[in-house]
Amino acid sequence: MNLLVTLNAGYLHQLRVLLASILAADPSGCFTVYLCHSSLTEEQLRSAAEGFDPDRLQIVSVPVSRDFLKDAPVTDRYPTEMYYRIFAARLLPDTLDRVLYLDPDIVVLQPLKKLFELPMGDALFAAASHVRRSLQRLNQLRLDMEPDGLYINSGVMVMNLAQLRREQDEQAVFSYLEAHQNRLMLPDQDVISGLYGDRILPLDPWRWNMTERLFAAEPRGSVRASLDWVRQNSAVIHYCGRNKPWKEHYLGSFDVFYREAEALLPG
């Protein structure tokens, strides 16, 4: 299974927690993980793989020049690396037809094979949406999306690389960034949703992109409002936003999954 993660050195430990959880969730699975970055050293890359079974996990460095997308809007919260997923078809080997992108602030509870092998047809991406219908419409207006376009969370995406290579217009991405830069709130997923929203297969967020916010919004007494239900039914736990279990003052109950995954780290 081919996986893609984009990151900088600040997320190396979280990457290792993610990798440990993936291997534990699928004991017979083998994975090639492409790390897209612009600043990791050889020592840091070696440390990312340290202690993992090399027969099951191969890490491939995909270095990107710091000048790549030098004019794209960035902040401390949204570094240049987040844009690399938009151009995964350009950055990854031509031999790859698809890749599963995962943010490094994720832990995996169940095998990812069904997600990775999802039939996509001519869709460019498969991803989950976290927004209600009313906000969906506001995002469509803000980003000039197609009427049936889907606003997605870009932390978990199956990417149809073969189709993207045939269709993606890189200049259209740059033009979109320039035209909408004052309206971008979550720049990478704004761009993906704005440009490709009508070419995205929707995923069940409760299974493939489960978050603390989704859980907190579930009415008390609902069958889904329990950690046991999440453990049995959610394959991917995504700690999106500022509320991270490795930071002080984390609010929520999903930190248990992160601590369990962290305990799986080799050595």
At 15-29, the pLDDT tens digits run 999 999 999 999 999
Give the integer Cα–Cα distance in Å for 140 and 76: 26
In the numeric block, the tokens 């992160």 are attached to 258
Asked if residue 89 has pLDDT above 90, the reply is: yes
Backbone phi, psi, residue 229, to 5°: -65, -45
> What pLDDT was estimated at residue 77?
65
Distances (CA, A) of 267 to 6, 57, 225, 257: 25, 16, 35, 19
Taking the alpha carbons at both ends of the chain, their separation in whole angstroms is: 25
- Kindly report whether the global pTM for this prediction surpasses the value 0.75: yes
> What pLDDT was estimated at residue 82?
74
Query: Around Cβ 244, how many Cβ atoms within 10 Å?
Result: 16
Structure confidence at residue 182 as a pLDDT band (50, 70, 90): confident
Structure confidence at residue 78 as a pLDDT band (50, 70, 90): low
Asked if residue 69 has pLDDT above 80, the reply is: no
Nearest to 235 by CA among 102, 58, 124: 102
- β partners of residue 210: 237
The pLDDT tens digits for 218-232 are 988 898 999 999 999
Q: What percent of the chain has pLDDT over 90?
A: 76
- Give yes or no for a contact between 186 and 146, defined as CB atoms under 8 angstroms apart: no
Please give, one letter per residue, the 3-state secondary structure of 3-35.
EEEECCHHHHHHHHHHHHHHHHHCCCCCEEEEE
Give the integer Cα–Cα distance in Å for 228 and 224: 9
